[in-house]
Amino acid sequence: MDDNLLFAFSLTLLAGLATGIGSLIAFFASTTNTKFLSLSLGFSAGVMIYVSMIEIFVKAQVALVAELGVRPGNWATVGAFFGGILLIAMIDRFVPKQGNPHEMKKVEDASRPVRNPELLKMGTFTAIAIAIHNFPEGIATFTSALQDPALGIAIAVAIAIHNIPEGIAVSVPVYYATGNKRKAFKLSFLSGLSEPVGALIAFLILMPFLNDIMFGVIFAAVAGIMVFISLDGLLPAAKKYDEGHLSIYGLIGGMALMALSLLLFI
């Protein structure tokens, strides 16, 4: 396999498996470190927003304008950007609240499991819902890493941070439903694997058609997906756990680090 493909798949896999880290935190930490969680979620949002608007959107625009012309290229870029937002918003819209990964939970919520078999269905659905939600993130990480390895690393790190509380979100209700830590960890781990599956689908379906126009459309849609995730999921969750202005400090820190890394690669 080509080294770039292997690198892109590996990054996507590592980002997805971060849900397992969240699951482990849920079972081995007695309390939620709200300061760290708020700071890290804000940091992840800062990375995603900055890189989406400053780097990914611009690259998409340049590619589409070069291929389609100034007016059609700009319209295509904006259309794909909001198309990405619409896609992830529809996924959120059709995922019930109890299964939505943006409905964050604390590890303390797993301290008193109720062994009710009737709740297992709900817990399993939570894992499936998160897997569906993670699917487009896998495509985003893979295509970004394939086009620009340095950019792919930044996106993978941001999504991995974002996936840690998702691991908590799936583990807590599954453990609450079954009282079985192994089952909760397994479902959390499997939900994260949907990201490399998304990468595989992107490779099998999109790669044969990956010309400059397709690249521009995908990149603009990825920018929209990441902005929506940041504004709808990461920042509200960061503010939920916030003490003072830690989430905003994290946001600015993430933007600054992303800006510095992009400058170093010029």
| CA distance linking residue 56 with residue 51, whole number of Å | 6
Please state the residue numbers annotated as binding site for Fe(2+).
134, 137, 163, 166, 195
| DSSP conformational letter for 206 | I
Tell me, what's the pLDDT at 123?
A: 58
Tell me, what's the pLDDT at 100?
A: 47
| CA distance linking residue 251 with residue 239, whole number of Å | 11
Where residue 226 falls (left for φ over 0; alpha for ψ -120 to 50; beta otherwise) is alpha
Please state the residue numbers annotated as binding site.
134, 137, 162-163, 166, 195
| CA distance linking residue 202 with residue 164, whole number of Å | 24
Tell me, what's the pLDDT at 61?
A: 95
Of 131, 146, 148, 139, nearest in space to 205 by CA: 139
pLDDT in tens, the chain (266 residues): 577 888 888 888 888 888 788 777 666 655 555 677 777 778 878 888 988 898 889 989 999 999 999 999 999 999 999 999 998 888 777 765 544 444 555 544 544 545 555 555 655 665 666 677 677 778 878 888 887 887 788 788 878 877 777 777 677 667 766 677 787 788 778 878 888 888 888 788 877 777 888 888 988 998 898 898 888 877 887 777 666 688 888 899 989 988 887 787 65
Tell me, what's the pLDDT at 131?
A: 72
Tell me, what's the pLDDT at 27?
A: 65
Backbone angles phi, psi at 104, to 5 degrees: -70, 150
| CA distance linking residue 152 with residue 11, whole number of Å | 8
Please state the residue numbers annotated as binding site for Zn(2+).
137, 162, 166
Tell me, what's the pLDDT at 56?
A: 86
pTM of this structure: 0.71
